[in-house]
Structure 1
Amino acid sequence: MSWNQFEYSTADGRPVTLYEFVRGDTLSYRYTNADKDILLNDVVWTAQAISDSGLSAGSGDNLDVTVPAENAVALLFRGVSPSRAVRVRIYRWHVDDTSAEFRTVWVGTIKEAKREAIDRTRLVTASLASTFSRVGLRLTYGRACPHALYDHNCTVDPASFGVSGLVISSLDGAEITVTLPAGLENGWFTGGYVEWETDGITERRGLKVQDGNVVGVIGGTSGLSEGLAITLFPGCNRTISQCAEKFSNHLNYGGQPHMPGKSPFTIIKLF
């Protein structure tokens, strides 16, 4: 029998839901709501008390997945959320289907995690289709550059400015202390970001003010530790002078630094 015959049968269908969470294209977490672990296509789906809010017409673009509080995916959102999106794929499979065929019924990303009770966490997801209907931001005019540093409009290559091999000597929950190379001006990394490896995944977090060897980390230092090797990337204050002097990228500057100070809509009486 085909998957469709099992799915729409009133007697033969024995559906099981499979949940796959993917982080950084390299790390996957796979669970099933069956009463025992399932081996499909040489992949083990771990049995767990996992469920979802279901799919129905008019339910919108969200779907909630409830997992135990100590689930590995739920723990990723305990404190600071992962810097990259955690994708969700939900499949349906039938126990008696000897062809081991399973179909995708949901694709999306986790938006947030809510710990509703001491023993369970609700993962709020957004479907892939919802991203197609988002309204994009309009580019406005101003003296400051509207581009995000290192993006496709800015064109600055982060690999050319990142300082790698730095080791955290101390941290206090809000700031880290590292020994920076000599010759860098104070505040060089203000507004930049820090990058490090954990479980084979590259994590990133924004930087606040750098004062000497002390650098503030947006979101705190959770996930960082003493002795950890990190890479720091400098920030930009969005002015034409820093764009030219720090990055030599003034030809791609997105602002209008010579914009006149008077609005063309202001009524000026000549007499």
Structure 2
Amino acid sequence: MSFDIVERSLNDGTPVELYTFTRSAQVFRYTSADEDVLYQGATFTAVPLSRPSFEQSQDPGRKPISLKASSGLGFVQQYIASPPTDSISLIIRRFHTEDNTTEAVISWMGRVTNVKFESNQVEIQCEPIFTSMKRPGLRRLYQTTCPHLLYGPECKFSKPTFQLDAAVNITGGTTLTAASIGGEADGFYTGGMVEWTNAGVIDKRFILTHTGSGITINLPFEGMVNGDSVRIFPGCDHVLSTCVDKFSNEVNYGGFPFIPTKNPFSGTPIF
């Protein structure tokens, strides 16, 4: 029996929802059913999980939603210390447990934007996939500094060029030290990033300061221990001199460093 026939039936339908949260190589599967559900070879764990009704509109899939779940849910544990630095997607499928075709229909797709802890439960706030279309249009400004994202598609500088692989020691949670870090002048890594791979997921942190053989990051890495290996990348202050002297990447510099500093419309009689 097809999903459509069961869905339209007055008596045969046994609807449940399947929730798939994906973060890189990590996948968390839950269901609103009373017991675990097997779908396409994967087990969806039965947990207390609810959501409000979809709003009636031309496209209910475009509306943000908030899920209610237990604070002990494995997925939300990642938000206790600090939120993940990468995106976590969510797919909600509608499924009938008595449907012999094991067919499920996607009813909502999007990503997790925030998790709020409320006593013994959490509120998982999500926005639909259509919000990815709401991008700023003309974001470039007539400015002296470079607007390009470091190591991004416009910057075009290769990350592995200055990549430093180091086994670090942790002090106070946010200070990482390694002898090889001291091989560069103070400030070389300031404004850069640290990457740490844990259970197939790459976590990233921003480097606030670099002095000697130590760097200070904005947030601690949850679960990191002394001796763990990280990848360290230098930062950029987005001025032309740094682009030339540090990266030799002036051909891709996106700013306008020779803008006149004197404003002809400031009212000064002599320009």
Normalised TM-score (structure 1): 0.93
C-alpha distance in structure 2 between counterparts of 1:79 and 1:181, whole Å? 26
Query: Alpha-carbon deviations, 1:8-54, whole Å to 9, x = none?
Result: 32222110100000111x22111111111111221111111111123
Show structure 1 runs of 5+ residues with no match: none
1:45 alignment counterpart: 44
Q: Offset at 1:181?
A: 5.1
C-alpha distance in structure 2 between counterparts of 1:37 and 1:150, whole Å? 44
Q: Offset at 1:168?
A: 1.4
Letter in 2 for 1:135: P
- Indicate the larger mover: 242-251 or 180-189: 180-189
C-alpha distance in structure 2 between counterparts of 1:220 and 1:169, whole Å? 12
Seen in structure 2, the aligned counterparts of structure 1 residues 210 and 138 have a Cα distance that, compared at 3 Å, is same
Equivalences for 1:236-251 in 2 at 5 Å?
236-251=236-251
Asked if residue 115 in structure 1 is aligned to residue 117 in structure 2, the reply is yes
- Indicate the larger mover: 216-225 or 196-205: 216-225
- Indicate the larger mover: 58-67 or 253-262: 58-67
C-alpha distance in structure 2 between counterparts of 1:263 and 1:128, whole Å? 44
Query: Alpha-carbon deviations, 1:160-179, whole Å to 9, x = none?
Result: 11101x11123212322222
Show structure 2 runs of 5+ residues with no match: none
Seen in structure 2, the aligned counterparts of structure 1 residues 96 and 47 have a Cα distance that, compared at 3 Å, is same
Letter in 1 for 2:5: Q
CA root-mean-square deviation: 1.8
C-alpha distance in structure 1 between counterparts of 2:251 and 2:142, whole Å? 17
- Indicate the larger mover: 219-228 or 201-210: 219-228
Asked if residue 211 in structure 1 is aligned to residue 235 in structure 2, the reply is no
Seen in structure 2, the aligned counterparts of structure 1 residues 264 and 234 have a Cα distance that, compared at 3 Å, is same
Q: Offset at 1:71?
A: 0.8
Give me the identity figure in percent.
29
2:87 alignment counterpart: 85
Aligned length: 268
- Checking the alignment, whether the CA contact within 8 Å between 1:142 and 1:256 is kept in structure 2 is yes
Normalised TM-score (structure 2): 0.93
1:144 alignment counterpart: 145
Query: Alpha-carbon deviations, 1:82-125, whole Å to 9, x = none?
Result: 111111000000122100000001111100000122x2111100
